[in-house]
Structure 1
Amino acid sequence: MVNVFLYAPQDFRNLCVLARTLEVLGHPECYVFDPWRLVRDRYGKARSREMRVVSAGAFEKIRWRRVEEPQTFLAEQTGRVVATVADASATPLTGFEFIAGDWLLFGSESSGLPAEVAASAHRSLTIPSRGATQSLNLAVSLGVVLFEAQRQLTR
């Protein structure tokens, strides 16, 4: 299995969709550097309802692991750190070989991973794009990459 690390996600609804994707793919936990405090122990009534509806109940099934110092945390891990980037010079997902224990890093919706975080990764990968749009939605990207990692590692 691989590990998932979100770096500063910004959109709560997107995080709910992402939780649904993680849960459907059987991935029970997610590490997150969360400066916007999207992941909380408790939510108000309206936010709780939104969370349940958008995530189809999956949000509460994920073990969210908050990380305060992401670069220090990642440097201490034993697996490869793999940055997902919208950069044609990165290894295309179709040519990338995952290893059990990899740490998959996903950046924020608006700006991706900070350059220094991406540069500190052992490897970087990209989802090849044929269209004119700059990149995929964060939750969609995570689903595509995590599905491929699981496909490779469960052959």
Structure 2
Amino acid sequence: MNEKFILFFSYLSVEGDFLNLNIVMYQPEIPQNTGNIARTCVLTGAKLHLIKPLGFDISSKQVKRAGLDYWGELDLEVHESYEDFMKKYGHNKIYLATTHGGEHYDEVEFKEGDFIMFGRETCGVPEDVHNAHEGIRVPMIKTSTRSLNLSNTVAIIAYEALRQFGFPNMK
């Protein structure tokens, strides 16, 4: 299966008006995407989870540059493998955001504890991961372009989830 992205958004707990949003990238390959996503995480109050192996050194210049000076504010957790991540967080509802998903992302009613997963930029997720989760997608017209950029897709879905929760602690 050639899935495009894996990233998880999780709503683990609500404290006051603030909703904890967790974004998890499955074996990301492009450092600039990870940097842009890190910046989005900081500005939305999300925690970023990275599942190894990574296609780059997390301290690389490209990652740091794309995230600008936000890295000091980033809540980051790195997982040694998908299995390790699932042992810790697999009890939650997990949606797979994919170009082959069923429902549109805005048709999903996100709830506390949900995850949204996206795969590697070039080859998506393995078939067993794909088959284990309900698929959702961002609608696109059919062209020769395969899919949206990963960091753009993260922002689209993250802001839809935050919209559903009333943009907690955002002005």
Corresponding residue of 2:66: 54
For structure 1, which runs of at least 5 residues remain unmatched after alignment?
none
Does residue 151 (structure 1) correspond to residue 163 (structure 2)? The answer is yes
Alignment equivalent of 1:84, drawn from 97, 102, 109: 97
TM-score, normalised to structure 2, is: 0.75
Corresponding residue of 1:32: 50
Does residue 17 (structure 1) correspond to residue 36 (structure 2)? The answer is yes
**Count of residues in correspondence between the two structures:** 146
d(CA) in 2 for partners of 1:71, 1:119? 15
TM-score, normalised to structure 1, is: 0.81
Change (3 A) 1:58 1:100: same
> Which one is further off, 67-76 or 103-112?
67-76
Change (3 A) 1:5 1:96: same
d(CA) in 1 for partners of 2:148, 2:32? 16
String of CA shifts for 1:44-70, please: whole Å, max 9, x gaps. Answer: xxx44x444321212332222111231
The root-mean-square deviation of aligned C-alpha atoms, in Å, is 2.1
Alignment equivalent of 2:148, drawn from 136, 141, 144: 136
- Whichever structure has more strand as a proportion of its residues is 2
Asked whether the equivalents of residues 35 and 63 of structure 2 are also in contact (C-alpha less than 8 Å), the reply is yes
Q: CA deviation at 1:39?
A: 5.5
Corresponding residue of 1:100: 112
d(CA) in 1 for partners of 2:159, 2:23? 12
Does residue 74 (structure 1) correspond to residue 86 (structure 2)? The answer is yes
d(CA) in 2 for partners of 1:137, 1:96? 21
Q: Percent identity?
A: 21
Q: CA deviation at 1:23?
A: 1.3
- Whichever structure has more helix as a proportion of its residues is 1
Alignment equivalent of 1:125, drawn from 112, 128, 136: 136
DSSP-derived class of the 1:58 partner: helix
Structure 1 residues 108-119: aligned runs within 5 Å: 108-119=120-131
Corresponding residue of 2:75: 63
Q: Which runs of 4+ in 1 moved over 3 A?
A: 37-40, 50-53
For structure 2, which runs of at least 5 residues remain unmatched after alignment?
1-10, 12-20
DSSP-derived class of the 1:104 partner: strand
Q: CA deviation at 1:131?
A: 4.3
Change (3 A) 1:124 1:60: farther
Asked whether the equivalents of residues 3 and 101 of structure 1 are also in contact (C-alpha less than 8 Å), the reply is no
